[in-house]
Structure 1
Amino acid sequence: MTLLRHHDRFEGDLVIEVAFTDVSLSLGDTADPDVRAAALAQVAAESGATPVLMHQVHGADAVLVDDGGSGPMPTCDALYTSQPGIALLARAADCVPVLLADPATGWIAAAHCGRPGLAAGVVPRVIAALRERGAEPGVAWIGPHVCGACYEVPAELQDEVSTLVPQARSTTSWGTPALDLGAGVRAQLEGAGITDLREVDACTREDPTWPSHRRDGAAATRFAGAIWSHP
């Protein structure tokens, strides 16, 4: 695959695959519709699956995709499905894309977890949604995101989030209050009993091959973490 990076594959009753889109594909809400459509077509061609986006709002709602990916874009921050041939996409440009799988049943999920989503518990929420369907997600992928040494926040905001997720408290490399979103997500995944954690070790702010809102502001595009299954 040329436009999907850090490809991983997990074989169970269904083959589950995971990848992250190349920076050359612009998938943000503000991208020109034709540009975004072309990027999605490339994802579909390389994955062999129908890509499904969500209108991300930094919340904790999780939506079931059971229409083959043909329905309107849902407003939420997590998607889950048991249908093969659907690629669930979580977009980011400093936030954490989190992908989940139950290889035994074929259920998969994708979540967008920024600072508000970490505090609201979007990752525990989608895990609970999977379990309500009889799935037991045992594998999680944590995608590229801004690291705890780069994500500066006001001290009051640091206190607000770290009161809920203590593991997220951090300090920037220049000595100011910060949050480590990845550490917070890891803590929530481990707290939910998921121990097979696979992380892409990249800070989006420091690595120019990934989009970063902190680095590039409004000019930043969006990449996506993608997960799909097939026989």
Structure 2
Amino acid sequence: MLLRADLPGVCAGFTTRANGGDFAGNLAYHVGDRAENVDHWRAELERQVGPLSWMTQVHGTTVIDAGSDTPEADGLVVRRGQGGAVMVADCAPLLLLGAAGAEVTAGAVVHVGRAGLLGGIAHRAVAALRDAGADTVSAVIGPAICGSCYEVGETMAAEAERTLPGSSCVTRWGTPGIDIPASLARQLRESGVDVDVWDMCTMEDERFFSHRRQAGQAGRFAGFLVLNRDTPDRLDLDVL
């Protein structure tokens, strides 16, 4: 299943799990799934939306251009005729779109976990779009673990709060937590970005892979963004 994001002039959205086993719908090679299964699901997604660039994600703050010879990064900038994907299973998949007037200039797919949030990867990605000529930037924060479910140790929560005030929270169990989606949205809005937050917690919603819920044995779903390429108005998988 694909969930479609409403971004004008682009094809964008998020994948979900599929029927057929624990890894059905998995798009990552590094999680213990068979490579041929990952190849199948990536090919199915690209059949729907066109070729995509994929990153080797490392929980860092590096943002690169699609097609870079060094794909080790957590943010990928796409331009006219290009597409990119970000893989997650509790971290926040961030889709960014930059425009100058009515013209789309560039976009980005960004992997935002705790380290990326505190390291400011969202600011780097927004800056890259503005460097590419964007006057305005809009964002969609896709399905991610919510603050009520993202439980961390006291030391980690305190360190997050020192680095990014307001990022720590209390979970539904009364324990220390970090609210990545809310903190990311606040960061973006403070940078003048229009933000749409999808209120879907990956730990609670079994349509999505969740590293926490599946005790580290989870696949990865994707956020994808394709710019100025002929794409169907409706994808022929189930669309929400």
Question: Same fold per TM (> 0.5)?
Answer: yes
**Residue 38 of structure 1 pairs with residue 79 of structure 2:** no
Greater helix content: 1
Is there any run of 5+ residues in structure 2 with no aligned partner, and where?
19-24, 230-240
Q: CA RMSD in A?
A: 1.6
Amino acid in structure 1 at the alignment position of 2:80: Q
- Match for residue 77 of structure 1? 74
C-alpha deviation, 1:216, in angstroms: 0.5
- Match for residue 97 of structure 1? 93
C-alpha deviation, 1:73, in angstroms: 6.7
Secondary structure class of the residue paired with 1:216: coil
TM-score (norm 1): 0.89
Query: C-alpha deviations, 1:29-82, integer Å up to 9, x for none?
Result: 2332211111111111111x21111111010000011x4xxx667000000021
Contact 2:149 2:172 in 1 (8 A): yes
Alpha carbons of structure 1 residues 212 and 137: separation in structure 2 relative to 1, 3 Å: farther
**Residue 158 of structure 1 pairs with residue 157 of structure 2:** yes
- Match for residue 141 of structure 2? 142
Inter-partner Cα distance in structure 1 for 2:90 and 2:125 = 20
TM-score (norm 2): 0.86
Residue 23 of structure 1: which of 17, 20, 27 is its match?
A: 17
Secondary structure class of the residue paired with 1:91: strand
Secondary structure class of the residue paired with 1:50: coil
Amino acid in structure 2 at the alignment position of 1:27: L
Amino acid in structure 1 at the alignment position of 2:165: P
Contact 2:129 2:137 in 1 (8 A): no
Q: After the TM superposition, which residues 1-231 of structure 1 pair with which residues of structure 2 at under 5 Å, given as runs?
A: 3-5=1-3, 7-11=4-8, 15-24=9-18, 25-28=25-28, 29-30=30-31, 31-47=33-49, 49-65=50-66, 67=67, 74-84=71-81, 86-103=82-99, 104-195=103-194, 197-231=195-229
Contact 1:52 1:73 in 2 (8 A): no
Inter-partner Cα distance in structure 2 for 1:72 and 1:40 = 20
Number of aligned residue pairs: 218
Inter-partner Cα distance in structure 1 for 2:171 and 2:112 = 20
* Percentage of identical aligned residues: 32
